[in-house]
Structure formats: C-alpha cells, structure tokens
Amino acid sequence: MLPGTFNARTVAQSSPNLSWVMIDCEHGLTSLQPNAAESIQAIQGAGAGSPSPIVRIPATGFSTGTSWQIKYALDAGARGVLVPMVSTAEKAKEIVADSRFPPVGRRGLGSPFAPANWGINASEYVTSANENILVMVQIETKEGVDNVKAIAETDGIGLIQMQAIICSMLAHAAHWCRRIIYWTI
C-alpha cells in the first residue's frame, strides 16, 4: 500500500468485500512510526465494517531484533503482523510471544491506543488480542524452506507466506512451494 492516511482510507473504502489491508513497512515506503499508526487510524476510521489493518514490519535481512517493531505495530492498533525473513521455528516462537500478552506471551501493555482503536477497555483488549491477533511469517531463504514444517507447526502462527522467488531459486523445494504458498493454518 502507498504511504499516507488518504491512501489508506481510500483503499479501506474501495470495496465492502475487503477483510484486511496490508500496511507495508518493509518495501512500501511507509515508516513504522508515525506513518503506520496514522494509516491504521485512517483504515479504522473508514467506518463500521472497515477492514482489519495488518502491518508488515520492516525487519530486513537476518536481523533478530523484531520485538520492538511488532510492539509498535500492535500498540498502534494493528490486528496482525507479517514478519519477513523467518527461517526457524525458534524465530517463529519469538514472534508469537512478542504478539501475545502473558501468560501466553511476553508483550507488555501500556499503550491506550490499541484498546481504544478496538473499541474495548484494556482488560478486554488483552483477552481479545491474545485470541485474535493474526501472526503471519514470510519464508524467504533456503533455511526457511528446510524448516517450513517446524515453522508451520509453531503454535500461534496463522499464515505462512512463501515468496515465489524462493520457489524458483530452489527447484528441489517445488513440492513444498506448491503446498505452502497459500497455506493457511
């Protein structure tokens, strides 16, 4: 999605059949702060039945420091995150833990914005977020392909996106690619 509140609102209102809108902070020229938060507000302000804002966090390369990026997106009111460059089940478990409140995760509660965006109080938000935040991961490396079964079996992962480029680069993995590209768990 193109950056900016007007673009976000226009996309959100473009069809009553949209269930979500991706705010791309990795390749979409949208910074995580403050632009993603503003886009989330614009999408949620589109009215009743507006699509859920999902944020692709800007974790790039082989960075292991995604916790703060997930926190920013969810504290702004996103209904889910898409995390790029996930190659191991251990990383997938960390991402899920960063997306959930205790006792099932390690996310801290402090921002009043997310509960307000969801239209509920803080205690209701903790329960609802733990049950409803969508956690998605992208597999973009050979290591990720090799570990895809373990990543898919990680409790709390709701969707795996496998980049088409990895399928073409790893011909021996074609059988996995056909099964996973649109595999929702």
pLDDT in tens, 70-124: 999 999 999 999 999 899 999 999 999 999 999 999 999 888 889 988 889 999 9
What was the pLDDT predicted at 41? 82
Q: Residue 134: which H helix or E strand, with range?
A: strand 134-139
Average pLDDT of the segment spanning 2-21: 85
Q: Which two tokens stand for residue 176?
A: 């996995």
Parent domain of 36:
5-180
Tell me, yes or no, whether 185 lies in a domain: no
Residue 59's CB is within 10 A of a number of other CB atoms, namely 24
pLDDT band of residue 32 (cuts 50, 70, 90) is confident
CATH number for the domain spanning 16: value is 3.20.20.60
Dihedral pair phi/psi, residue 172, rounded to 5°: -70, -15
Q: What is the DSSP string of 99-150?
A: HS-TTT-------SHHHHHHTS-HHHHHHHHHHH-EEEEEE-SHHHHHTHHH
Report the percent of the chain where pLDDT is more than 90.
40
Active-site residue list: 27
The pTM of this model reads: 0.83
Q: Is residue 53 part of a domain?
A: yes
Strand, helix or coil for residue 142: helix
Cβ atoms < 10 Å from Cβ of 16: 8
| Residues found in the chain | 185
pLDDT tens readout for residues 124-178: 999 999 999 999 999 988 899 899 999 999 999 999 998 666 666 665 555 555 5
Percent of the chain with pLDDT strictly greater than 70: 83
Per residue in 51-80, pLDDT (tens digit) is 898 898 887 555 567 888 999 999 999 999
Q: What is the pLDDT of residue 45?
A: 79
Report d(CA 175, CA 80) in Å as an integer: 28
Q: Is residue 129 part of a domain?
A: yes
> What count of Cα atoms within 13 Å lies in the side-chain half-sphere of residue 17?
0
Domain count, the chain: 1
